[in-house]
Amino acid sequence: MKTKLLKVEENNENIQEAATLLKRGEVVAFPTETVYGLGADATNEQAVAKIFTAKGRPSDNPLIVHVASKEQLLELVTDVPDYVERLIDTFSPGPITYVLKSKGKVAANVTAGLNTVAVRIPNHDIALSLLTACELPIAAPSANISGRPSPTSATHVLDDLDGKIAAVLDGGTSQVGVESTVVDCTGAEPVILRRGKITEEDIEKVINVNEVEIYDRQVEKPKSPGLKYKHYAPEIPLYLIESDITIQVVIDAEKRKGNRVGALVSAATAKKISADKIVAVGIDEEEIAKNLYEALRSFKKVEVDVIVCESFPAKEVGKAVMDRICKAASRTI
């Protein structure tokens, strides 16, 4: 299979072509504000199966369904608590996913056989145009090989999936850079299953609760991606520094072992250290989030043997950044 690269110009012809491929049961990668998604018709079990094959994704890992409007979202779910509409009206379109009881309108392999479905409305013009054009709910996990860093550009998608999918709709670089916040809304109060740009504090303000629970336990039948399997890992071992030890001490120790060392650090730290390869991800939480996966993908086996990563401030979207790095890490120091 030859994967088509469909660049979005001033006209929408390539969006229409991508929509036609989706209607035919093909798999198409497309941009969102978070990361690139790997889309298929969520009502077509055979089309959805192609997602799992292309990614090498375990079949018990549910997918997030993308829709173009609140009305489409509500058509797929039932038993919706009152607070959900407040969250939708405040945050959607946006980087937030709602897990709700399913009406059974999507294919069983989308939900991994569960009675819940995860649904979101992306805040991205190209994604919304595609969803509107194809008139379908689209199941779409991140468009990468399962377990690897998510893609934030069409180039990243092709690096992983060229020849495995029908097309990539190129919409430039994703602006948020980490996946959506996933919220379990099946109970009386919401529970965050996966952190993202929208924080528990943001949600608490909207629904007037003192504390939103963060679900951080592994489960056999996860309601959300990111709860069971290793994710976001680069091709090289990554060591995360969580202690007070300085990053240069760790770099020097690895070099004495004969390792070529890469450093994943803030712009400020990059000016103070020495390593075989230094990648500065940014100066604040939002910039670090946007650049994180590009940075992880930039380290290659031919250049370094190990990546040493400092801890970043765990506030606002920084909490999601540290969640991803912790899951990507081979060990902590």
- pLDDT per residue rounded down to tens, the chain (333 residues): 899 999 997 567 999 999 999 999 999 999 999 999 999 999 999 999 999 999 999 988 999 999 999 999 999 999 999 999 999 999 999 999 999 999 999 999 999 999 999 999 999 999 999 999 999 999 999 999 999 999 999 999 999 999 999 999 999 999 999 999 999 999 999 999 999 999 999 999 999 888 899 887 655 556 666 555 567 889 999 999 998 899 999 999 999 999 999 999 999 999 999 999 999 999 999 999 999 999 999 999 889 999 999 999 999 999 999 999 999 999 999
Task: List CB contacts of 114: < 8 A, sequence separation 6 or more.
Answer: 62, 102, 221, 223
Q: Which fold has domain 4-214?
A: DHBP synthase (3.90.870)
CA distance 199 to 23: 35
The CA distance from 56 to 41, in Å, is 18
Please state which architecture CATH assigns to domain 238-332. 3-Layer(aba) Sandwich (3.40)
Q: What is the domain partition of the chain in residue ranges?
A: 4-214, 238-332
